[in-house]
Amino acid sequence: MARRLAGAVLAVVVILGMKFYTKSSAHDDVKAQLVHLCADDSECQAAVERHYDACFDSSYKMGGQRQSSKLDVDALVRCVNTRSGVPYFALNQER
């Protein structure tokens, strides 16, 4: 019985670890892309540095038992633009 419980706990820890690793990886990759899009605009880069973490957390969904994790990029870009007060990033509506 103890082995089953330990196995179940280990499986839950592995699954949660993978979800948090995926979130962390997406966080870093998308932030790097936004900073790259800012090119040489130091104000744009400062806005990304200032607002990115809060905007990422509000637009990233961890998913559930039957859903995978998902980042709402449109919400993220809108959030950074709104919080900074300047529309640094445009949304592509042709999808």
Closest CA to 76 of 51, 49, 55: 55
CA distances (Å), 52 to each of 29, 39, 43, in order? 12, 16, 14
For residue 73, is it within any domain?
Answer: yes
CA 89 – CA 77 distance, rounded (Å): 6
Domain with 55 in it: 2-84
**How many residues can be counted in the chain?**
95
Q: For the segment 2-34, what is each residue's pLDDT rounded down to a tens digit?
A: 777 777 777 777 777 777 777 888 899 999 999
For residue 95, is it within any domain?
Answer: no
How many independent structural domains does the chain possess? Answer: 1
Q: For the segment 77-94, what is each residue's pLDDT rounded down to a tens digit?
A: 999 999 999 999 887 766
